[in-house]
């Protein structure tokens, strides 16, 4: 079931959301000081491309630098990516088949706002 949901996700919105994160990551990597933001954006892009069967958890060792970085991220990229997730969720929720995908899109809103200090882990069966 996860594979089927991931394929439908990929075709309907996964590619576009991943491209948004990739664009944000490339822009962040162009500037030397924002490379950690770019790496986090690339990590979230892979999650946004194939989200079912994986989840995000907070890292235990994430501290004050992650909080400061997340505040900066929200101002420059996170707010716009969160809006994109909400708008995509609204469009997907208009169809019955899109409701689980809309819920998955809304699940990505918090991580689009605060990507630093998180790690992607597989969901145990």
pLDDT at residue 125 in the model: 61
Structural domain containing residue 16? 2-122
Classify residue 48 as exposed, middle or buried by CB count within 10 Å of its CB (0-12, 13-18, 19+). buried
Tell me the pLDDT tens digit for each residue of 55-68.
Answer: 888 887 878 888 88
Q: Are 56 and 63 in contact (CB under 8 A)?
A: no
Domain count, the chain: 1
pLDDT at residue 94 in the model: 93
What's the whole-number average pLDDT of the chain?
87
CA distance 74 to 113: 5
pLDDT at residue 93 in the model: 92
Tell me the pLDDT tens digit for each residue of 8-46.
Answer: 888 888 898 899 889 989 998 998 888 888 898 898 898
C-alpha distances out from residue 123 to 12, 48, 52, 55, 82, Å: 23, 15, 9, 6, 23
pLDDT at residue 106 in the model: 92
The pTM score is 0.81
Q: How confident is the model at residue 69 (pLDDT cuts 50, 70, 90)?
A: confident
Mean pLDDT of 73-81: 87
Q: Are 108 and 51 in contact (CB under 8 A)?
A: yes
% of the chain residues with pLDDT over 70: 99
pLDDT at residue 115 in the model: 86
Q: What 3-state DSSP class applies to 50?
A: coil
């Amino acid at each position: 079931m996860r594979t089927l949901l991931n394929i439908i996700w990929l075709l309907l919105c996964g590619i576009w959301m991943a491209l948004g994160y990739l664009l944000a990551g490339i822009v962040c990597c162009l500037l030397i000081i924002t490379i950690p933001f770019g790496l986090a954006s690339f990590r979230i892009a892979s999650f946004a491309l194939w989200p079912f069967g994986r989840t995000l958890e907070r890292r235990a060792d994430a501290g004050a630098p992650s909080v400061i970085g997340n505040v900066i991220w929200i101002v420059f990229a996170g707010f716009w990516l969160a809006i994109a997730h909400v708008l995509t969720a609204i469009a997907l929720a208009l169809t019955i088949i899109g409701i689980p995908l809309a819920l998955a899109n809304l699940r990505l809103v918090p991580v689009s706002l605060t990507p630093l200090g998180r790690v992607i882990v597989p969901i145990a069966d």
